[in-house]
């Protein structure tokens, strides 16, 4: 599966498009392209900017139009390695996107599904869709939630991007779980310092980078994984470590840039900063770096 | 005008979007992002792929929707350094895009206008729109055409991306003309070897790169230009040289990749190869190189 210097991995990324700013496809695409991926962007919407700005204009593509786009791609016979889906703006669109991804998956295409359940304590989908019956408050209940999910859904790789535990307000916990054999999973977590701000687009950047990192480390180490493989040698652990490290760099650079706006005007910094635009372009040198700055922990 | 390490130039690029392939905004954006530009993409269409494939699906945004996008951007007060326009898919859309660009230009935003008159001997617009009354067959008539254009339209910088002259079928001629003083222009040309293939998207890659190259060399050398400046020291000559050099590298890499498909199957190579997709991602290391491989000629 190792590719020559002139071959690329091919991704179909089905997400929103904003003219200005970096969320959805706009957050995922550029970093992946820098990492050598051909990213085909099927935009589900075109908005002037993301809604957190307070105002925006634009339009969503209807389910029939979304189907047409996919038919057009099938007609010219494009092959993909992976399909990435994020937030989809309506139930009808979701059902069309689900059908596309099932079709692709039936042809061996890996599906990286970011369910975008919520952000910062706000849930975007109806409560019944996300309830595992486990309330995550500490590491033990976090582990229980992962085990319950694995029992119910049995996916190959699971990532929980970030949760805050009740006894630790200065850290975020990010976990991964890999299926080693049928019914046997290995789970691990990383602990990351919080940055006191809310960033639009960080989750979409995360899932984009994760797509390429999972491929990269599966190609490198996937074949040697067995029941005795140490946690830190799991491809998913390498991948999550790399993605967390890059995302932390991008957010820190963005945060410092934002802070600088206040300090240069001698204005007080708000206690919870909301940052509309990632400094995705200024941070471009990070996307191709081999960063793994965090320590793998076992539960 | 020199920018700090964490500031970027800001471009609004108003062009087509294809899900697969690299034409319009898809050809212009990534190279510009690698060169440190924040590129806001106002997509005029979303097609599955470009029409040269023989089939495609998709939709154009109507004039009212295009207006809405722009209104959304104005509402949140985004500022641009430049606006880039390429092929616009209908007369109504063209009139809306023209109004946007006039509005931006009235606020000091530079407009890089690629009229996309035609490709490979085929004209996309009605003949009356492109007729300067000069038939370009040799260097003398080429120079006459540029002089006539300057007299009629008096723009600051003019680029003729490529013409083939009747006595030289193995070269393309690319020319530039800069206004030094009111009514005084300096014109020059480069001679580039043809590659025996037709590439979709090469013109859009060209105009994207040109946007950043013009900015780069105007910032570096623009203030020192006067009536005595040698042709090779004109910012536009530096810029065109750099763009031609990068585009040549991208097309050569793309061409070799395509040739390889035939030779690896021991198939004969068609005499005029039509190449649908630039190897835009594989060629990514060229976009940030300081390449100036051509010699400036005076007419």
Each domain of chain A, given as residue ranges in start order, spans 9-298
- In the DSSP assignment, the letter for residue B269 is P
**Contact at 8 Å (CB) between B59 and A67?**
no
Note whether B136 and B168 are within 8 A (CB): no
CA dist B39 → B10, B112, B174 (Å): 6, 14, 26
What token pair was written down for B48? 């599955």
CA–CA separation, A279 and A31 (whole Å): 12
Chain A contact for B65 (CB, 8 A cutoff): yes
Contacts of A53 in chain B (CB under 8 A): 76
Taking an 8 Å cut-off on Cβ atoms, the answer to whether A55 and B46 are in contact is no
Tell me: the pLDDT tens digits for B60-102? 999 999 999 999 999 999 999 999 998 888 889 999 999 999 9
Of B38, B53, B55, the CB nearest to A281: B38
Tokens 């050569």 belong to residue: B252
User: With a CB-CB cutoff of 8 Å, which residues 81-140 of chain B face chain A?
Assistant: none
Q: List the 199-228 stretch of B: residues with Cβ below 8 A of A.
A: none
* Per-residue model confidence (pLDDT) at position B121: 61
Choose between A240 and B120: higher pLDDT. A240
Nearest residue of B to residue A7 by CA position? Answer: B282
The verdict on a CB contact (< 8 Å) between A42 and B19 is yes
Asked if residue B63 lies in contact with residue B45, where contact means CB atoms within 8 angstroms, the answer is: no
User: Using CA atoms, how far apart are residues B50 and A203, in angstroms rounded to an integer?
Assistant: 31
Q: Name the token pair of A29.
A: 């695409």
Those residues whose C-beta lies under 8 Å from the C-beta of residue B270, and which sit 6 or more positions away, are none
DSSP B256: H
- From B224's Cα to the closest Cα of chain A, the distance in A is 29
- Residue A69's nearest CA partner among A35, A48, A46 is A46
The answer to whether the CB of B156 falls within 8 A of the CB of B225 is no
pLDDT score for B1:
36
Tokens of A248: 């932390």
pLDDT of A81: 95
Q: Is A64 on the interface with B (CB under 8 A)?
A: no
- CA–CA gap between residue A13 and residue A41 (Å, rounded): 5
- Strand-strand pairing, B9-18 and A297-298: unpaired
What is the CATH code for B9-298? 3.40.1190.20
Residue A234 pLDDT level (bands cut at 50, 70, 90): very high
Judging contacts by C-beta atoms under 8 Å, the chain A residues touching residue B76 are 20, 48-49, 53-56
Contact A72 B47 (CB under 8 A): yes
CA distance B41 to B24: 10
Tokens coding A220: 């490198």
Search chain A and give the residue with CA nearest B8.
Answer: A282
For position A1, what pLDDT does the model report?
35
Cβ distance of B48 and A73 shorter than 8 Å: yes
pLDDT digits (tens, 9 = 90+) for A157-183: 999 999 999 989 899 999 999 999 999
Residue given tokens 């969503």 in the structure block: A60
Greatest Cα pair distance, chain A, in angstroms, is 59
CB contact under 8 Å between A19 and B69, yes or no, is: yes
Q: First and final CA of chain B: distance in angstroms?
A: 32
Q: Which residue has the tokens 């760099």?
A: A249
Q: Report d(CA A22, CA A45) in Å as an integer.
A: 14
The residue ranges of chain B whose pLDDT is under 50 are 1-3
Q: Mutation test of the interface with chain B: which of A62, A66, A281, A284, choosing the one with the most B Cβ atoms within 10 A?
A: A281
Asked whether the beta carbons of A275 and A169 are under 8 A apart, the reply is no
Verify whether the Cβ–Cβ distance A49 to B76 is below 8 Å.
Answer: yes
**Cβ–Cβ below 8 Å for B57 and A40:** no
Enter the tokens of residue B34: 């690698």
Q: What are residue A55's phi and psi, to 5 degrees?
A: -145, 150
Q: What is the dihedral of CA A287, A290, A291, A296, to 10 degrees?
A: 130
- Closest alpha carbon to A239 in A263, A212, A200, A261: A212
If you search the block for the tokens 């009139």, which residue do you land on?
B95
B12, B40 Cβ separation under 8 angstroms = yes
For A207-227, write each residue's pLDDT tens digit. 999 999 999 999 999 999 999
Spatial separation of the C-alpha atoms in residues A183 and B220, rounded to whole Å: 63
Q: pLDDT, tens digit, for every residue of A142-154?
A: 999 999 999 999 9
Exposure on the CB side of residue B74, measured as CA atoms within 13 A: 11
Q: Tell me the nearest-neighbour CA distance from A137 into chain B, angstroms.
A: 39
Residue B169: partners with Cβ closer than 8 Å, 6 or more residues away:
B194
Check CB contact of A11 with chain B, cutoff 8 Å.
no
Residues B80 and B110 sit within 8 Å (Cβ to Cβ): no
Any residues with CB less than 8 A from the CB of A160 and at least 6 apart, and which?
Answer: A142, A145, A146, A173, A174, A175, A176
């Amino acid at each position: 599966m190792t590719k020559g210097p002139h071959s690329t991995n091919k991704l179909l990324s089905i997400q929103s498009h904003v003219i200005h700013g970096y969320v959805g496809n706009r957050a995922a695409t550029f970093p992946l392209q820098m990492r050598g991926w051909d990213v085909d962007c099927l935009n589900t919407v075109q908005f002037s900017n993301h809604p957190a700005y307070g105002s925006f204009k634009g339009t969503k593509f209807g389910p029939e139009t979304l189907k047409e786009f996919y038919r057009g791609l099938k007609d010219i016979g494009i092959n993909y390695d992976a399909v990435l889906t994020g937030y989809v703006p309506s139930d009808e669109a979701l059902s069309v996107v689900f059908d596309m991804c099932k079709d692709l998956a039936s042809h061996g295409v890996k599906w990286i599904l970011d369910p975008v359940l919520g952000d910062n304590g706000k849930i975007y989908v109806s409560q019944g869709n996300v309830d595992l019956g486990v309330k995550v408050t500490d590491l033990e209940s976090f582990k229980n939630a992962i085990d319950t999910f694995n029992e119910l859904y049995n996916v190959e790789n699971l990532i929980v991007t970030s949760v805050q535990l009740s006894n630790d307000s200065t850290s975020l916990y990010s976990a991964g779980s890999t299926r080693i054999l049928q019914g046997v999973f290995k789970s691990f977590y990383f602990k990351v310092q919080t940055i006191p701000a809310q960033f639009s687009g960080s989750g979409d950047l995360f899932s984009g980078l994760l797509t390429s990192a999972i491929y990269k480390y599966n190609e490198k180490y996937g074949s040697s994984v067995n029941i005795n493989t140490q946690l830190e040698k799991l491809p998913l652990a390498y991948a999550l470590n790399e993605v967390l490290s890059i995302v932390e760099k991008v957010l820190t650079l963005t945060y410092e840039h934002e802070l600088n706006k206040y300090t240069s005007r001698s204005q007080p910094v708000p206690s919870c900063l909301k940052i509309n635009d990632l400094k995705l372009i200024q941070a471009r040198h990070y996307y191709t770096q081999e960063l793994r700055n965090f320590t793998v922990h076992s539960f």
